[in-house]
Amino acid sequence: MENAVQNHARHHQVAGEETLLPADATQTLEWITVLSAARLDYRLSHETDRWLIHVPDAHAEAASAELRAYEHERASGTLRFPAARTGGRERYAVWTAFWCAHALVLLYLWLGPYDAAVPLLAAAGADAERILAGEWWRTATALTLHAGWPHLLGNVLFLVCVGQAVFRALGRGLGLTLLVAGGMIGNWLAAMTAAGPRVAVGASTLCFAALGVMSVLQSAELYRREREWRALWKRAWIPMAAGVALLGMIGAGPQSDLAAHAFGFAAGTVVGAPFALRPALRPSESGQWILAATAALVPAFAWSMAWMQTG
């Protein structure tokens, strides 16, 4: 191992495995996504307050190479995930994630931080009472609003890392559609269960929907490899468990909207499950373009509804 990877490897060795020690929950998420995108086996274990990633010796060299490449490009400012064997999809995945993040930043520069005193922004926040009164568009517009730069940048980085992996696995159109749908469903469920007045903003619900989609995709992939219930019990549940654990570690901070994060993760898992279990359901190239356009138009139409509400 070299560089950043070398610093976290070759500790707590298990026979037949190389053990990696990510520095924190965020790096755990990044590394398992890198390994999954490269279709390399791994398993997770938890020790005190950190996750350990165990890679079979047969895959240790390849895993090391993928993680070194990822860490090198992240340090140089060009985030990427390793070339998953996904044909033409991979050349679009980076750009799709980039333009999603770019759109969020541009919208923030135009509208500024969320302020309930601004009529347009007040009409776009995920106000639980107004959503339940029929103002559905808030479930979409709230995904594009942020409370400040730290809130925005955290979600942008999360989206670039995890969203890119979803787009590689499912294609830009289907992936984007599932993320928007998961984010909107998550906001609606959070409104349904709100105990009182509640207004939320931020793309984090969509980001955790992406985490849910990736978790169910990885579980389904592991099950397809083993094809037996024992393997499902021993290994295929691990990505789902890791996703839930990361939800708790990353999405349950003191300033976090845990309900929106949890429902976003759950919604991503549900909407992603059919395409994880039945790859034949994934659309053709032309279908990907149609879904990408539709997914982009939904927030635009939702914003037009918010604009009309202020008129």
pTM to 2 decimals? Answer: 0.67
At residue 52, the pLDDT reads 82
- Output the CATH code of domain 1-83: 3.30.70
C-alpha distances (whole Å) from 58 to each of 52, 62, 64, 83, 87 are 18, 8, 11, 19, 25
How does 21-35 read in b/e, with b if 16+ C-beta sit within 10 Å? bbeebbbbbbbbbbb
Q: Where in the chain is the domain with CATH 3.30.70?
A: 1-83
pLDDT (tens place) for every residue of the chain, 311 residues total: 344 444 444 444 556 788 888 877 667 777 877 777 677 778 877 776 677 888 888 888 888 888 888 777 766 654 444 444 444 455 677 788 889 989 999 999 999 999 999 999 999 999 999 999 999 999 999 999 998 888 888 888 888 888 888 998 899 999 999 999 999 999 999 999 987 788 889 888 998 899 889 888 877 877 776 655 555 555 544 444 444 444 444 433 334 467 888 899 899 999 999 998 888 888 888 899 999 999 999 999 999 999 998 86
**CATH class as words, domain 88-310:** mainly alpha
At residue 252, the pLDDT reads 38
Give every CB contact of residue 282 below 8 A, 6+ residues apart in sequence: 170, 171, 174, 275
At residue 156, the pLDDT reads 87
Please state the φ and ψ torsions of residue 200, each to the nearest 5 degrees: -130, 150
C-alpha distances (whole Å) from 159 to each of 143, 224, 306 are 12, 27, 24
Strand partners, 256: none
At residue 87, the pLDDT reads 44
C-alpha distances (whole Å) from 290 to each of 175, 214, 287 are 12, 22, 5
Q: Where in the chain is the domain with CATH 1.20.1540?
A: 88-310
Q: Give the H or E element holding residue 141.
A: helix 138-141
Rounded Cα distance, 270 and 301, in Å: 25
